[in-house]
């Protein structure tokens, strides 16, 4: 009975799978963080709209109320700017992680292709061995019959 095919770089291929999965998880976490930041921007923008509408609709207001609303509005706008900076940073991290993922996938695919090639070579060799055995059996049987 022929022995089973064993790829000698299987452990390295497994490490490549683990590395790729780890990068995918990291990318998923970054996308989640990006989503939180986008939600925060949406919330801040809605608060800005509410305050702007409040300021427009105020007819009788004190100077103190006016100052407080404008201070709050400028504070919200600054928060929005800060959060947008965070968004840019996270997008850069996402892009870098995507590049790492593409590289890891290429490395894995190269090993998988090598594994398939080696497996095909192994099958061919096993078929040749089997054919040789069958030929020898046929010759032996032919000699017995003759």
Q: pLDDT category, 67, cuts 50, 70, 90? A: confident
pLDDT, mean of residues 65-70: 86
Asked whether residue 1 carries a pLDDT value surpassing 60, the answer given is no
Nearest to 10 by CA among 116, 104, 105: 116
Q: Which pTM value belongs to this model?
A: 0.76
CA distance 89 to 37: 11
Virtual CA dihedral for 54, 56, 57, 60, nearest 10 degrees? Answer: 100
Domain boundaries, the chain: 10-115
**Highest mean pLDDT pick, 5-19, 53-67, 81-95, 122-136:** 81-95
CA distance 124 to 130: 10
CA distance 2 to 130: 9
Domain spanning 10-115 has what CATH number?
1.10.287
CA distance 11 to 118: 15
């Amino acid at each position: 009975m022929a022995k089973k095919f064993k790829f000698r770089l299987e452990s390295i291929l497994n490490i490549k799978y683990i590395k790729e999965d780890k990068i995918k998880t990291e990318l998923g976490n970054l996308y989640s963080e990006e989503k939180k930041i986008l939600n925060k921007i949406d919330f801040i923008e809605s608060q800005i709209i509410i305050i702007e509408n409040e300021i427009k609709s105020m007819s009788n207001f004190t100077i103190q109320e006016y100052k407080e609303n404008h201070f709050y509005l400028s504070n919200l706008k600054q928060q929005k700017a800060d959060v947008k900076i965070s968004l840019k940073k996270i997008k850069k991290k996402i892009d870098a992680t995507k590049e790492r993922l593409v590289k890891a996938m290429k490395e894995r695919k190269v090993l998988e292709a090598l594994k398939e090639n080696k497996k095909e070579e192994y099958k061919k060799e096993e078929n040749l061995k089997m054919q040789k055995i069958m030929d020898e059996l046929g010759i032996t049987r032919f000699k017995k019959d003759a």
